[in-house]
Structure 1
Amino acid sequence: MLRAEQPKHATWEPIGPGVLRRRLPGLELNVAVVTGRDGILLVDSGSHDHEAADILASLARELPGHGLPDRVVAVVNTHGHFDHCFGNDEVLRAFPDAEVWGHADLPEYLERWAEAGRASGVEHGFDPELMRAARIVPPTRAVSAGTPVTVDLGGREVVLFAPGRGHTDHDVVVHVPDCGVLIAGDMVEESGPPVFGSDAFAAEWSDSLARVRALDASVWLPGHGAVVDEEFVIRQNRWLAEVAAGRVVPD
């Protein structure tokens, strides 16, 4: 298994040419950027406005040192859990022309689960005032299940793909074909076993992850934890198939 050096939480780590990730403290959430001539695509926006502002400030410090632009032109929410998308409003405040992408079913999910998401944030140790103050902004650009969408960042294409139900019913992954990087959201987990919440689909997760594997990536960024390789993903997919078959009961 490929395992990157553990980054300091304040830094961005290259995981491919013009692709960087930062691991946030607390839940070990990975946020990532893919850069092109026109600007950057930000994958996930954090848990609340202050966390998103910190992400943007750290980008402004880091990217010029790599000779990369620090203008956000697109945001992708991998799914609707609070730690992945409750910072959208702050990103749009800083970059009002940025497009926000997500699964076609994500706006409805956020409408139904926003308050549960705030409560989950508090349960995970986030400041209650910050969670209450977070303004939930759903994506306005949709990715439909099974239909890849290509986003042009200016000389660089990024593919957004909704593989089917797994961690949620609205997971989206981000593939950077020119360097073989796959930003998987919580379809893949490294810092712990895959999480089966009340909105997960244990019977379908392994099949959906198999469809993601067909995108042919060599470097995988899980939603939480260290960078992994395809062998790690194959093992996790087998474990998920055991769960689907009822031979393994997840914690």
Structure 2
Amino acid sequence: MPEPAGSMPELLQVAPGIDRWVMPEATMNAVVIADAGEALVVDPGTLPARAAELRAAIEARGDRVVAVVITHAHWDHCFALAVLDDVPAYAHPATIAELREHGETQREAVLGFSTGATADAVRHLEIVLPGSAVPEPRTLRIGALEVELEPLGPAHTSGDLVIHAPAAGVTIAGDLVETADDPQLDESTEVSGWLRALDRLASHAQPLLVPGHGEPCGHERLAHHRALLEGFASAGT
């Protein structure tokens, strides 16, 4: 999974106070919510070196990282958490349990398709667990912005969490929503729970959705996902 030649990550504005940073591995969207010199990082990503670059970019513009949120327990979203272990890290309780019980299994799986510097980094990184469980909706304040954490799981995984930034009109959906690909299922997926999560997003999410992978989108993507997942459900997947 090498970084494409000539491609350097940068902070890309989604809305005022909201930026995304596309990780070269798995083209995962790390998201930064910032106001009044404070910043919240959602999904620091894949490798410590990548997250260190992101943190340096945040600090270079004068913001201080005060918290991190993990949307779910997949390596491409959270294996770089060690770079931010000096600030509170929030996640669904099931995400914390999944990383505790199966983090090393994920590492071995990643090593099965990684080579070179990426494999070496994955082999030696410390798998850090988020320290603050979010079993119920919780509000954080970043500068003057209120950011709402909402657990919605099991769905894509055993513990999905979405982040609403009402003042910006943005919901960060993790891999409950993707635009770079169709919904991705694995052994931890609960299709019926995912369909319920899509219903919740349709009724309560902000107008602009930031997916785990791909370009920001509107609620029309929810219907696309629903149709595919209903097909999986009817097929007994």
TM-score normalised to the size of structure 1? Answer: 0.85
1:31 aligns to 2:30 (yes or no)? yes
Q: Secondary structure at the match of 1:203?
A: helix
Whether 1:143 and 2:134 are equivalent positions in the alignment is yes
Q: What are structure 1's unaligned runs of at least 5 residues? A: 1-7
Deviation at residue 30 of structure 1 after TM alignment: 0.3
Which 4+ residue blocks in structure 1 deviate beyond 3 angstroms? none
Matched, 1:84 2:77: yes
Question: What amino acid is aligned across from residue 150 of structure 2 in structure 1?
Answer: F
Deviations 1:161-209 (A, max 9, x none): 1112111011111110112101111111111111111111123211122
Which position in structure 1 is the counterpart of 2:159?
Answer: 170
Contact 2:111 2:123 in 1 (8 A): no
Gaps of 5+ in 2: 1-6
Letter in 1 for 2:68: V
Residue 237 of structure 1 deviates from its aligned partner by 2.3
Deviation (angstroms), 1:38: 5.4
Q: 1:117-132 counterparts in 2 under 5 A?
A: 117-125=106-114, 127-132=118-123
One-letter code of the match for 2:227? R
- Whole-angstrom distance in 2 between the partners of 1:132 and 1:108: 21
TM (norm. structure 2) is: 0.90
8 A Cα contact 1:191 1:226, kept in partner: yes
d(CA) in 2 for partners of 1:114, 1:172? 18
The answer to whether the Cα contact below 8 Å between 1:31 and 1:45 also exists between their aligned partners in 2 is yes
Q: CA deviation at 1:58?
A: 2.8
Q: How far 1:216 moved relative to its partner?
A: 3.4
* CA deviation vs aligned residue, 1:62-83 (integer Å, no higher than 9, x gap): xx2xxxx421101000111111
Q: Distance in 1 between matches of 2:219 and 2:211?
A: 11
Distance change in 2, residues 1:135/1:150 (3 Å): same
SS of 1:40's partner is strand
Contact 1:9-1:24 at 8 Å conserved across structures: no
Q: CA deviation at 1:211?
A: 1.2
User: What is the RMSD of the two structures over their aligned residues, measured on CA atoms?
Assistant: 1.8
Identical positions, percent: 30
Q: How many matched pairs?
A: 229
- Work out the CA distance in 2 between the residues paired with 1:177 and 1:10: 26
1:75 matched residue in structure 2: 68
Task: Identify the match of residue 98 of structure 2 among 90, 94, 109.
Answer: 109
Equivalent-residue separation in structure 2 for 1:210 and 1:113 (angstroms):
29
Tell me, yes or no, if the aligned pair for 1:221 and 1:227 is still in contact at 8 Å.
yes
Three-state SS of the structure 1 residue aligned to 2:27 is coil
